[in-house]
Structure 1
Amino acid sequence: MIAHVRIEPLTVAAFAPYGDVLEAVGAPDRIINEGSCERFHDRARLDFGPDGRAGLSVFHAMPRSLPLTLELVERHPEGSQAFVPMSADPFLVIVAMDEKGRPVNVRAFRTAPGQGINILRNTWHGVLTPLAGPGRFTVIDRVGATPNLEEYRLAAPLVIRD
C-alpha cells in the first residue's frame, strides 16, 4: 500500500521546525531609502558552517505535476539552503524530521505568490519542485571544500497530493 501525504499551505508556524518562510508580510522592521522602501529584516537563519561561505546560484528546474511520487529526499549537513522564486508561481516544499539518520513524518507545503523558503542545515527535504514554469530560483547556500549532500531513498514511495 502506498502512503499519501496531503499538501498544506506554507505558514511561518507550520514550517518553523524545518526552516524559514521568506515573505514580506505584516509591518516592516524598518523604512529605508528616504521613506520609499520597507525592509523586512533578517528573515532567514542562514548557516554555512565553520568552513563554508554563502554562494548565490540560479536554478532552473522542470515543472512537476500532482500527484507526485516521492522516492528520494536529501539534506545538507554543512549548511542551510534558501530558495527565492524568480516568478510568482507556486512551488512544492517537501520536508521531514530526522530519526536516527532516517527521514520521518514527511510533510508537504505549497507556497503562495511572494513566498520563498530557507531550509535549515541537516533538514531532510525533497528536490526542487516547481508546479509551473519557468521554475527559476535564486538559491543561497553553502559553498565549501567539504561535501554537503546526503541522499536517502525511501523504502516505499509516498504520493504527494492535494
Structure 2
Amino acid sequence: MTLQLRAQPLTAAAFAPFGEVIETERQHQFYINDGKALRYHDIARAEALGDDARVAISLVDVEPYTLPLAVTLMEKHPRGSQAFIPLDDKPFLILVAPRGPAPAPEAIQAFVSNGRQGVNYHTDTWHHPVVSLGGRQRFLIVDRVGPGDNCDLHPLPPGLLEVVNH
C-alpha cells in the first residue's frame, strides 16, 4: 500500500523541529548603507562541524518535478546545516523527517514554500533533495564543505510513499 503525503504551508512553527524558515517576515531588521538597504539580520545559523570545515555559498539550478512524486530517497548531512534559498520567487516542495536513524515513511512531513521562503536544515536532519514545482528554478545553497563524508543516503522502496499535492 502506498502512503500518500499532503504538503502543508511552510511556517516557522511547523518547521522548527527540522530547521529554520528563511524569510523576511518576523525577522530582526534595520537599515544600513545610509538608509538605502534594509538588512534582515541573522535569519539562520549555518553550521560546519569538523577540522578544516567551512561554510560555503553555492548556486544550483533545479529541473521541476511533477506530482504525484514517488519518494525514493532521503538524505542527511551529519557534519553541518544546509540552507536552500529560492531566487526565482517560485514555490518548492520540502520533505523532511527528524534527526536520527533512517526515517520511517510515516515520519516524513511535506511543506510548500511560498517561493519567497527558504529553509535551513539542522545538522543531521533527514530531507529529500530539493523539489522545484514551478519550472526550472535557481537556489542559493549555504552548507558545509571540508574533509569527511557529509551525506548519508537512505533509499525508500518505490511505491511506498508519494506526495500527491502542493
Tell me, yes or no, if structure 1 residue 122 matches structure 2 residue 124. Answer: yes
Partner of 1:152: 154
Q: Give the Cα–Cα distance (whole angstroms) in 2 for the partners of residues 89 and 153 of structure 1.
A: 28
SS in 1 for 2:97: strand
Give the letter for the 1:46 counterpart. Answer: A
Cα distance per residue 1:21-61 (max 9 Å; x no partner): 11111364322222222222111121111321011111111
Q: Give the Cα–Cα distance (whole angstroms) in 1 for the partners of residues 136 and 80 of structure 2.
A: 26
8 Å CA contact 1:3–1:159 kept in 2: the answer is yes
Where do 1:70-85 residues align within 5 Å? 70-85=71-86
Partner of 2:134: 132
Give the letter for the 2:156 counterpart. Answer: L
Partner of 1:86: 87
Q: Give the Cα–Cα distance (whole angstroms) in 2 for the partners of residues 98 and 84 of structure 1.
A: 21
Q: Give the Cα–Cα distance (whole angstroms) in 1 for the partners of residues 145 and 139 of structure 2.
A: 17
Q: TM-score, normalised by structure 2?
A: 0.91
Which aligned segments of 4 or more residues in structure 1 are displaced greater than 6 angstroms? none
Give the letter for the 1:81 counterpart. Answer: Q
Q: 1:141: how far off?
A: 0.7
Give the letter for the 1:33 counterpart. Answer: N
8 Å CA contact 1:28–1:38 kept in 2: the answer is no
Amino-acid identity (%): 39
8 Å CA contact 2:27–2:41 kept in 1: the answer is no
SS in 1 for 2:160: strand
Task: Point out where structure 1 has 5 or more consecutive residues left out of the alignment.
Answer: none
CA RMSD between the two structures? 1.5
Partner of 1:22: 22
Number of matched pairs: 161
Q: 1:148: how far off?
A: 0.4
Q: 1:98: how far off?
A: 3.7
Cα distance per residue 1:84-117 (max 9 Å; x no partner): 1120011101000145x12141000000031111
Question: Are the structure 2 counterparts of residues 142 and 84 from structure 1 closer, same or farther at C-alpha, using a change threshold of 3 Å?
Answer: same
Q: Give the Cα–Cα distance (whole angstroms) in 1 for the partners of residues 117 and 50 of structure 2.
A: 29
Partner of 1:50: 50
Task: Point out where structure 2 has 5 or more consecutive residues left out of the alignment.
Answer: none
Q: Which has the higher strand share?
A: 1
